[in-house]
Structure 1
Amino acid sequence: MSKRTEKTIVDIAEELKLSVSTVSRALNDNPNISARTKDKVKKMARKLGYRPNALAAGLRNNKSKTIGLIVPRISMFFPAAISTIVQNKLQEHGYNLIICQSNDSYEQEITLVNTLYSARVDGLVVSTTLYTTDFSHFDVFKDNNIPLIFFDRVPKDYNVKVIKGDDYVGGYTATTHLIEKGCKDIVHISGPLSCNLYVERVSGYKNALQEFKLPFKKSRVFYHELTRDNAWQTCEKIFAQTPYPDGIFASNDTTAITIMEYCRKINVRVPEDLKIVGYSNDPRTEIVTPPVTSVDQYPVMMGERIVAALMELIHTAPSNVPRYSQEIIPIQLIARESSAGTAKSSGKKK
């Protein structure tokens, strides 16, 4: 099969007996071209299957009007919510968005960074993998003064713009809430400590226990990727022996919901026997039974701040851009039935 020949503005001009410059201006809605001519040109463009060459235009003006976004998994609530907000806000500024997912693979993240650089994006927004500790593959953006923003999962010592949630306060608030509800034996299920989110949430958990003079037990903290399967396996470990905990702080809502499912299986009542707090305020937390207490990360606020910061970087001379700045987005605990009432002893196996 022969390769399809792309139609150009020259073909449109020949069909309509117009100059190439007139066709070009009509396609770009130049105010000096009449509405009648614009309409004719656009109809012919559709008829011929003309596609504007955005890459060629970008090479001419050194702007692609495209931003790259790399997230760990688009299936997760928080990065999905951020992606939607960022895309909608960028469109208001005349920019398109290329969304990529690393699938929490460091090697894939490197490939995506290089691909988006080659695609001449005007800026890059990234939430890193769980295992990214070397950020040198992002140097190509820094060294060429292309706006680069990290959000949510961010580097600790890499001089760029960072927008992140208040994860220490989130961990502290979730744990304090369980303690104030009467819990004295609180398990924490965390993600890997290679990621800033979980380092900070664990720190908040520890400090809340310390403040209320409750012991920190290494055996009551579990570290792994926060998937349903991993959460189920952890539940099997937690409930394999007595005494059962009376509270669990889970670092994501998938884990919190899985814990409730497991508790139903073994006849542990939530919240009477066990109180649960999740993280992210995933919409599922409101519709499961009982509804799950969770920490809201304000994705709308974060998405809006990402785009505002990106526009500022794009429109500011590189010499005037600070090498490093950090914005902290607040959190809020949304209390629901999974942590209601006062904790009871759950020392006996059900």
Structure 2
Amino acid sequence: MSKRTEKTIVDIAEELKLSVSTVSRALNDNPNISARTKEKVKKMARKLGYRPNALAAGLRNNKSKTIGLIVPRISMFFPAAISTIIQNKLQEHGYNLIICQSNDSYEQEVALVNTLYSARVDGLVVSTTLYTTDFSHFDVFKDNHIPLVFFDRVPKDYNVKVIKGDDYLGGHTATSHLIGKGCRDIVHISGPLSCNLYLERVAGYKSALQQNRLPFKKSRVFYHELTRDNAWATCEKIFAQRPYPDGIFASNDTTAITIMQYCRRIGLRVPEDLKIVGYSNDPRTEIVTPPVTSVDQYPAMMGERVVAALIELITSKQTTTPRYSQEIIPIQLIARESTASAVPAGKKK
């Protein structure tokens, strides 16, 4: 079977007995070409199966009209929600999006950065892996003045534009909410401290305890990737012996929901015996029983601000070394039944 030959504007020109330049201008809706000629050219292009060569056009114009996006895992609620917003907003500005996932592998992240640079993207948006502490692989974008924006999981000491949630306030608010509901022995389940998110949420947790004159106990904080399996294993440690905690602040909703499942298994009542707060306001938190209190990170707002910052960098055509700048997206605690106050005896809900 013979290999299919790609049709070019030269083929269209030969079929219509027009110049290549006329065909090119017609395909690009040049106002100097008549509507009748444009229609003839586009009709022939469809007939021949002509496909524009975006890469070649990008090389000529030094613009690919494509943005690269690297997220840890597209299966997680927060990155998935932001990716959708970023794609939709970029399309409004005439840009396409290439979405890549690092799977929380530093080596994979490095490879993806090099691949997207080779693909001549006009900008790069990144939420880093849990373990990224060396950001030198992004230097190729900075050195060549290609716009670079980090969001959510971000560097602290790297001269780039950063857009992140208020994770310190999130940790403080979640813990204070549990304290306000009467909890005095609060466990915190955190991600690895190599990631900015969890450093700040732990700091917020500690601060809330301190402000309420409650002791910080190292034995009441657990650090690991926030998967269901890890959460289940941590529950086995927490509830292996008494006294049980009366509150748990989990740094993601997958962990919070897993804790509820574990409590159901061992006959512990939520919220009567244990109150739980999650993080991210994953839609699942509303449909489980009981619904889970969670911290909303406003992914739509963050996604919109990421695109706004990127477009600003692209249009400004900055040729100097970028400086560190940070934008903080607010958080809001969404209170649900997993932290509801106990109903006094003899009273109905």
Provide TM-score, normalisation by structure 1: 0.96
Give, as a single letter, the amino acid of the residue that structure 2 aligns with 1:188.
H
CA RMSD of aligned residues (A): 1.4
Show the counterpart of 1:348.
none
Contact 2:145/2:320 (8 A) holds in 1: no
Kindly indicate whether the alpha-carbon contact (under 8 Å) linking 1:69 and 1:125 is maintained by their aligned counterparts in 2: yes
Residue by residue, what CA displacement relative to the aligned partner does 1:56-102 show, whole Å, maximum 9, x if unpaired? 11111111111100000000011111111011111111111100000
After superposition, the C-alpha distances for 1:276-305 in whole angstroms (9 at most, x for unaligned) are 100001111111111111000011111111
Counterpart residue type for residue 25 of structure 1: R
Any idea what SS the aligned residue of 1:281 has? coil
How far did residue 30 of structure 1 move?
Answer: 1.6
Deviation of residue 48 (structure 1)?
1.7
1:16 CA drift (Å): 2.2
Distance 1:291 1:254 in 2: 13
Rounded to whole Å, the distance in 2 between the matches of 1:195 and 1:13 is 56
Is residue 219 of structure 2 the alignment partner of residue 232 of structure 1?
A: no
Superposed CA deviations along residues 28-71 of structure 1, whole A, max 9, x for unmatched, are 12222233332332232222221111111111111111110000
* Cross-structure match for 2:327: 327
Provide the rounded CA distance (Å) in 2 between the counterparts of 1:196 and 1:324: 15
Q: Which residue of 2 aligns with 1:347?
A: none
User: What are the ranges of 5 or more consecutive residues in structure 1 without an aligned counterpart?
Assistant: 345-350
- The Cα shift of 1:342 comes to 4.1
| TM-superposed deviation, 1:129 | 0.3
What's the CA shift for 1:321?
Answer: 7.2
* Match of residue 289 from structure 1: 289
- Structure 1 distance, partners of 2:77, 2:330, is 18
Which amino acid in the other structure matches residue 75 of structure 1? S
CA distance in 2, matches of 1:343, 1:98: 51
In the alignment, which residue of structure 1 is the partner of 2:72?
Answer: 72
Secondary structure of the residue that 1:272 maps to in structure 2?
coil
Structure 1 letter corresponding to 2:31: P
Cα distance in structure 2, aligned partners of 1:256 and 1:15: 65
Unpaired runs of 5+ residues, structure 2, are 345-349
Structure 1 residue identity aligned to 2:211:
E
Preserved CA contact (<8 Å) 1:122 1:146: yes
Supply the AA of the counterpart residue of 1:17: K
Is 1:60 aligned with 2:60?
yes
- Secondary structure of the 1:198 match is helix
1:199 maps to what in 2?
199
| 1:215 partner amino acid | P
Aligned length: 344
Match of 2:257 in 1: 257
Which residue is equivalent to 2:34?
34
- Residue identity matched to 2:298: Y
Equivalent-residue separation in structure 2 for 1:201 and 1:38 (angstroms): 58
Rounded to whole Å, the distance in 2 between the matches of 1:12 and 1:316 is 38
The answer to whether the Cα contact below 8 Å between 1:273 and 1:343 also exists between their aligned partners in 2 is: no
Contact 1:275 1:343 in 2 (8 A): no
Whether the 8 Å CA contact 1:182–1:343 is kept in 2: the answer is: no
What is the CA–CA distance in structure 2 between the aligned matches of 1:322 and 1:158, rounded to whole Å?
Answer: 9
Q: 1:70–1:100: 8 Å Cα contact kept in structure 2?
A: yes
| 8 Å Cα contact 1:166/1:328 also seen in 2 | yes
* Aligned residues with identical type, % of pairs: 89
Deviant stretches of 4+, over 3 Å: 319-322
For 2:136, the aligned partner's letter is: S
Give the TM-score taking structure 2 as reference length: 0.96
Report the residue type matching 1:35 in the other structure.
Answer: A
SS in 2 for 1:278: strand
